[in-house]
Amino acid sequence: MEAMANVKERVRMERLSKVYPNGTVAVQDVNLSIREGEFLSFVGPSGCGKSTIFKMITGLSGATGGKLEVMGTSPKQARKQSDTAFVFQDHTLLPWSSVLDNVALPLALRGVSRQERTREAERAIELVGLKEHARSMPRQLSGGMKMRASIARALVSRPKLLLMDEPFGALDEITRQTLQLELLDIWSRDREMTVLFVTHNVFEAVFLSTRIAVMTPRPGKVASLIDVPVPFPRDDSFRSAPEFGRIVRSVSDALKH
Ligand code: ADP
């Protein structure tokens, strides 16, 4: 009971809406409360407003209606406090900097001392299993390793909210499944971290998430919220469990409506 009472709300959307200046209703009346330690995936076809919601959460784009709170404050304030971090599908590493310097970059931009940022970058690099490659240049890394480096760069500032927009979309299936397991392992070490994850892939969403928001386009709305009541740690055997198939089916059905 006590643990329940202490669970903090990380993101609160109340009738959140976004209409672009050209009249496109990208997001309409989304109500969602996301708690500390959740792994929530947004699933839906292109154009249903997933990126727009992420841009609003990071404070890059303002809402045109409703209310949005991040870490109990405004999205811009949460970003200033470095409470949120972002991982994109494109790894966006600087080609002329080593893995270590790339991962340390967010701290360098905040004026953290060299000694401290090296220590923190080494910690993040170890978390993603790239210790042997800390001095490598991005061009020397495989696609999966570049994505690990991007994740390390997001983790370096110890975010309370990690936003991932189709991070594994460009990877082959085997690498993708390996990185899914690694991501769950990283998250299990810091269960106060909330992860918001965008994917088109229903299997990926079910494997990773505690909850799935199924979205529909024009206008972008959350059509249903589906719980994945399967405990962690999860391993590959979950992918072939009857429960997995059942939840995949209910997400797929919700997507069709
Ligand atoms: P998703 O990430 O789910 O693919 P987006 O959030 O990118 O969806 O887009 C939602 C809708 O808003 C789409 O119809 C898209 O064309 C439109 N849209 C996105 N950005 C802009 C913009 N800057 N101006 C006008 N319309 C936009």
Q: Is the pLDDT of residue 3 over 60?
A: no
List pLDDT tens digits, range 186-204: 999 988 999 999 999 999 9
For 34, 65, 249, 250, the CA distances from 167, given in Å and listed in that order, are: 20, 29, 23, 24
Percent of the chain with pLDDT over 90: 89
Whether the Cβ atoms of residue 148 and residue 130 lie closer than 8 Å to each other: yes
Q: Which of 55, 60, 64 is nearest to 16 (CA)?
A: 64
Whether the Cβ atoms of residue 235 and residue 208 lie closer than 8 Å to each other: no
Provide the pLDDT for residue 80. Answer: 85
Q: Which of 107, 152, 162, 97 is nearest to 128 (CA)?
A: 152
Mean pLDDT estimate for the chain: 94
Provide the pLDDT for residue 231. Answer: 95
Q: Which domains does the chain have, with CATH numbers?
A: 2-83+159-256 (3.40.50.300), 94-157 (no CATH)
Q: Is the pLDDT of residue 29 over 60?
A: yes
Radius of gyration, alpha carbons of the chain: 18
Q: How many CB atoms lie within 10 A of CB 123?
A: 14
Kindly report whether the peptide bond that precedes residue 233 is cis, defined as omega within 30 degrees of 0: yes
List pLDDT tens digits, range 151-171: 999 999 999 999 999 999 999
Provide the pLDDT for residue 82. Answer: 79
How far is ligand 1, taken at its centre, from the CA of residue 146, in Å?
Answer: 27
List pLDDT tens digits, range 55-106: 999 999 999 999 999 999 999 999 888 789 999 888 789 999 999 999 999 9
Percent of the chain with pLDDT over 70: 97
Provide the pLDDT for residue 221. Answer: 94
Q: Whose CA is nearest to atom 12 of ligand 1?
A: 26
**Ligand 1 touching residue 51 (CB < 6 A):** yes
Rounded Cα distance between 225 and 11, Å, is 15
Atom of ligand 1 nearest to the CA of 55: 6
Q: How many CB atoms lie within 10 A of CB 57?
A: 25
Any idea which residue has 């991007």 for tokens?
150
Q: What is the pTM of this model?
A: 0.94
